[in-house]
Amino acid sequence: MKLVILDRDGTINEDRDDYVKSPDEWIPIPGALEAIARLNHAGWHAVVASNQSGIGRGLFDMSTLNAMHLKLHQLLAKQGGRIDAVFFCPHTPSDGCDCRKPMPGLFKQIGERYGVDLTQVPVVGDVLRDLQAGSAAGCQPHLVRTGKAARMSDAQIDELCTQVPGTRVHQDLDAFADWLIAHEREVLGLPADPEATGRKRDA
């Protein structure tokens, strides 16, 4: 099973300093849903691992979170893609749980649910804790320069990467999808994807 684990806020959808609290505030980052669909079409299963402390803070309830994810699924379906499952931590930092990133609990749940070894499973996020959680579970860390990372300087990005060795940096989820699909074809000894080559020529 080809699995990729994605952060939500700042990676798939626009982040907010005051938390994404409703479906109206859940706005996809341009190109992100299309990127997930392209990964799906290349045989990758995508799951989300997300801190959602807004529940623990009383900013929104489970029905609102479900409505946000329904919007995600519906918009993604229009692009021909899908998220297999959303794993989330509802706790606040003071709860001391194992599922709030940077702890690896969510990733362990994903590994158990799908019966897969997480070694080298790509994890994509926009903040340090996403990469730390994934790396602690054995995943391959990838940083996208969207969300909170969009406000970081090159020096700050370099410093972040030194804290999680092996981190690859991509402009956004679209660029990550290009890299992962091309990397797999290279490993398998396949020629470059002509569709991806055309996309880059048009860009």
Task: Just give the CATH number of 3-198.
Answer: 3.40.50.1000
Using one digit for the tens of pLDDT, what is the confidence trace for 147-202?
Answer: 999 999 999 999 999 999 999 999 999 999 999 999 998 888 888 776 665 555 44
Q: For the chain, how far is it from start to end, CA to CA, in angstroms?
A: 31
Average pLDDT over residues 118-130: 97
> pLDDT averaged over the chain?
94
Q: Quote the pTM value.
A: 0.94
Give the C-alpha distances (Å, rounded to integers) separating 169 from 25, 34, 124, 125, 142. Answer: 27, 19, 10, 10, 6
Q: What are phi and psi of 78, to 5 degrees?
A: -65, -25
Domain boundaries, the chain: 3-198
Closest CA to 34 of 85, 100, 78: 78
Average pLDDT over residues 89-111: 97
pLDDT, position 200:
55
Q: Which residues are tagged catalytic?
A: 7, 9
